[in-house]
Amino acid sequence: MELRKPKLEDVAKLAGVSRTTVSRVLNNRGYIGDKTREKVYQAMETLDYHPNEIARSLFINKTNIIGLIFPTTNNPFYAQMIYHLENNFEALGYKVLLCNSGGRVDKERAYLDMLQRHQVDGIVAGAHNRGIEIYEKTKLPIVSIDRYLAPHVPVVSSDNYAGGILATSLLLDKGCQHIIHINGPIDLETPANLRRKAYEDIMKKNGLPYLTYEISETTIRDLFDQNPHVEGIFASDDLIATQVLTEARKRGYRVPEDLKVIGYDGADMTCILRPELTTIQQPIDAMAELSVQLLIDQIEQRTDQITLHNSLSVKLIEGQTT
């Protein structure tokens, strides 16, 4: 007995209608009576027929698929952001394709090309590579998380400057004078650089020296080797702060007596695993919700409602590391 997948013609034959009628039912085009619609659905169920979504998307010029590009899922901030993005898109009838760029430019380019070839309806980009010209050229709706991609691409971030003020001011209030900041590459165009600017502005205002380290594999060891009398460290994310705590305790520093440490992000998983860490918490769920709304506004061509630079309030979560 030959086994084959049922076709549109099979559904039409069983339902006793034309192929065009079945197509109109599937694409919700034109007037279809309730009885006819029910006969088509019953025939589909009997035959276990599943519409060709690729062909259907070409017909209606919409795939209901969104691409997500992030550097990793192995980071509590990104993991929580992706979770909320997927939930919000799902509630609006969209599916997502998750692309993990691994921090590589070539991989991010390849994923962008793939998403365009699959004709996704839009992209939310949270990867942080430079020099990817596709973002400038594409007409595809795009929203960026905490990164400047192109002049026309909306950016969603937390209020990084306010976060930097909160963190640095707290360390000063706790009596720290020798405070160091650790962040990512300063040449990367991202609103997160405002954390560094806030730190430097506050230190200058108080007449104190400031010093920023850009993170690498040896930076944290170098920081302690070169600054044995450091009193406070403001790290640009919670993972870096965790590494700082580990290295500090290896060297015999007492936290918070000898050294005070503040992170940034405040993802749910970090708060569970590191409840003692003082951090600046980003409103991750609200950032995801706003990113989804901005992308849908582009997809539905409501461009007059779009704000290009979107910054949401942060919150200080004080633990035992300060």
The pLDDT of residue 1: 42
Is position 318 within any domain?
A: no
The pLDDT of residue 54: 55
Number of domains in the chain: 3
- Residues 215 and 149 reside in one and the same domain: no
Listed residues 23, 38, 60: the one ending a domain: 60
- Residues 137 and 220 reside in one and the same domain: no
The pLDDT of residue 132: 80
The pLDDT of residue 50: 75
Comparison of pLDDT for 61 and 290, the residue scoring more: 290
Average pLDDT over all residues of the chain: 90
- Residues 151 and 294 reside in one and the same domain: yes
- Residues 151 and 289 reside in one and the same domain: yes
- Residues 149 and 292 reside in one and the same domain: yes
- Residues 106 and 73 reside in one and the same domain: yes
Q: Is the pTM of the predicted complex or chain greater than 0.95? A: no
Give the residues across from 97 on adjacent strands: 67
What is the end-to-end Cα distance of the chain in Å, rounded?
Answer: 74
Q: Phi/psi at 290 (nearest 5 deg)?
A: -65, -40
Least confident of 51-60, 77-86, 244-253: 51-60
Is position 320 within any domain?
A: no
- Residues 97 and 211 reside in one and the same domain: no
- Residues 290 and 150 reside in one and the same domain: yes
Comparison of pLDDT for 188 and 314, the residue scoring more: 314
- Residues 164 and 258 reside in one and the same domain: yes
User: What is the domain range of residue 102?
Assistant: 65-157+284-312
- Residues 211 and 257 reside in one and the same domain: yes
pLDDT per residue as tens digits for the range 97-109: 999 988 888 898 8
> CATH number, domain at 187?
3.40.50.2300
Q: How many CA atoms lie within 13 A of 178 on its CB side?
A: 10
Q: What is the DSSP string of 103-123?
A: T-HHHHHHHHHHHHHTT-SEE
Is position 38 within any domain?
A: yes
Per-residue pLDDT, averaged over 297-321, amounts to 92
- Residues 79 and 217 reside in one and the same domain: no
Q: State yes or no: pLDDT of 62 exceeds 60.
A: yes
Least confident of 48-52, 205-209, 288-292: 48-52
Q: Which pLDDT band, with edges at 50, 70 and 90, does 88 fall under? A: very high
Q: How many CA atoms lie within 13 A of 280 on its CB side?
A: 26
